[in-house]
A and B are shown apart, each in its own frame.
Chain A
């Protein structure tokens, strides 16, 4: 496979992503044209790479190399949901990691949204924050039982999450009470404009001393020669960086820079849709608190309402290859059934990006060699967990 195979399949760049309108000012950082040294070189300026750069910049000289522009990949193409959880259920985490470490993993992942919101506040990033919580609604009895177990486990561990019955769920969602059997409302979650967020992180990292180069693809990664033989050398078209650490933060856009890394995840194309502003007669009843939500259906089911009364939902389309027109019938049909009063509402935007999936439904950390690190596998939980994970990595 050509090394830039994935990146070249999104030639439209950010032009079609509606987050642009309130996405802040693009980062002004040109290509690398020098041969420089640093303590750490980060490949990829998405949320993961920018969080790492921000948190490491206080103590280290950090260089971030980005093939396109800051936030160009999934960081600006996701739904903007900020979830206090991994994709794994709490019980599955406790089974996978054991009680003690499992509790730590759950405790840490629950801090993700708070970290995101605190960073936005601390650095003055206008992320169009919505803090109405995040709702997971059950579409079958079996799914409701799973949610009840989730609530029981989280409450046993001391977390306050709310189990809503059918009527309360209907009020929060704003639809027919027969549509969902119940739900879990997690007040720690929320939603943001992820493009504004990632640009804000990058700007804060630059202010803290990190050096960014956009339009700079990492072409070769080798050990340095000569006296600096323990260092890593990243070559680009017009320059190079030598550093003690190299961290690959490319997730679903990972190429063959480190042989075999790309094969640890399956990049799947995820689609997002945004309607025109809803009719003022319909809008107040739909997600009245602007909670962001998903449900227990197997296919993508995220829904949120933006401040300008547009409904934003995830859907499905061709899973691989270049961006193509999504399955509008399936994706919009679900919204039509969920909110019949909106049936036929027009779309203003649809867009897509690569989501890194794996069979473990969880991030995987790799130390490929001393000083060479990577973490991949957002599995649709990238905003909070990528921020958090790389903040942890950067903090001794």
Chain B
């Protein structure tokens, strides 16, 4: 029952566990910013007044 393809890990807590909430919040804020920048760069933009949509890069 104790055989495992993935080796057992020592029971070691996540470093700076007491800080995990601010760290994860910061990480998610960063992800949010990066997603937003990616979308700004790659997503189709709203149609221009001349009717043509700007090509996506």
Q: Which residues of B contact A268 (CB under 8 A)?
A: 24
Beyond A101-B5, A178-B44, whether A260 also contacts B35 by CB under 8 A is: no
**B12's contact among A139, A264, A319, by CB below 8 Å, is which?**
A264
Could you tell me if B32 and A299 are in contact, using CB atoms closer than 8 angstroms?
A: yes
Contacting residues of chain B (33-52) with chain A, CB-CB under 8 angstroms: 34-35, 38-39, 41-44
A140 vs B12: C-alpha distance when bound (angstroms): 36
Main secondary structure of the interface of A (DSSP, over half): mixed
**Quick one: CB contact mask for A282-310 with B, threshold 8 Å, 1 for yes?**
00000000000000011100000000000
A261 vs B14: C-alpha distance when bound (angstroms): 10
A179 vs B39: C-alpha distance when bound (angstroms): 9
Could you tell me if B28 and A316 are in contact, using CB atoms closer than 8 angstroms?
A: yes
Contacting residues of chain B (1-33) with chain A, CB-CB under 8 angstroms: 1-14, 17, 20-21, 24-25, 28, 31-32
Beyond A139-B42, A176-B44, A264-B12, whether A365 also contacts B28 by CB under 8 A is: no
Q: Chain A's nearest CB lies how many Å from the CB of B56?
A: 5
Could you tell me if B7 and A358 are in contact, using CB atoms closer than 8 angstroms?
A: no
A337 vs B32: C-alpha distance when bound (angstroms): 16
Given A266-B14, A364-B9, A393-B2; 16 other pairs, CB 8 A cutoff: A56-B1, A178-B44, A178-B56, A263-B17, A298-B32, A298-B35, A299-B31, A299-B32, A319-B24, A330-B32, A359-B14, A364-B6, A366-B9, A373-B1, A373-B2, A396-B1
Could you tell me if B32 and A264 are in contact, using CB atoms closer than 8 angstroms?
A: no
Number of interface residues, chain A, beta carbon within 8 A: 44
Indicate whether A206 reaches chain B with its CB closer than 8 angstroms.
Answer: no
Smallest Cβ-Cβ distance to A180: which chain B residue: B42
Smallest Cβ-Cβ distance to A296: which chain B residue: B38
Pairs A–B under 8 Å by Cβ, sample size 10: A178-B56, A179-B43, A181-B42, A260-B13, A264-B13, A298-B35, A337-B39, A392-B3, A393-B4, A394-B1
A178 vs B55: C-alpha distance when bound (angstroms): 9
Number of interface residues, chain B, beta carbon within 8 A: 31
A13 vs B32: C-alpha distance when bound (angstroms): 29
Smallest Cβ-Cβ distance to B13: which chain A residue: A263
Contacting residues of chain A (25-41) with chain B, CB-CB under 8 angstroms: 40
A178 vs B5: C-alpha distance when bound (angstroms): 42
Beyond A139-B38, A178-B56, A299-B28, whether A265 also contacts B5 by CB under 8 A is: no
Beyond A179-B43, A319-B24, A373-B2, whether A366 also contacts B11 by CB under 8 A is: yes
A245 vs B1: C-alpha distance when bound (angstroms): 9
**A264's contact among B2, B14, B39, by CB below 8 Å, is which?**
B14
Q: Which residues of B contact A394 (CB under 8 A)?
A: 1
Could you tell me if A299 and B2 are in contact, using CB atoms closer than 8 angstroms?
A: no
Smallest Cβ-Cβ distance to B30: which chain A residue: A298
Could you tell me if B6 and A105 are in contact, using CB atoms closer than 8 angstroms?
A: yes
Q: Chain A's nearest CB lies how many Å from the CB of B8?
A: 5
Q: Which residues of A contact B31 (CB under 8 A)?
A: 298-299
Contacting residues of chain A (380-396) with chain B, CB-CB under 8 angstroms: 392-394, 396
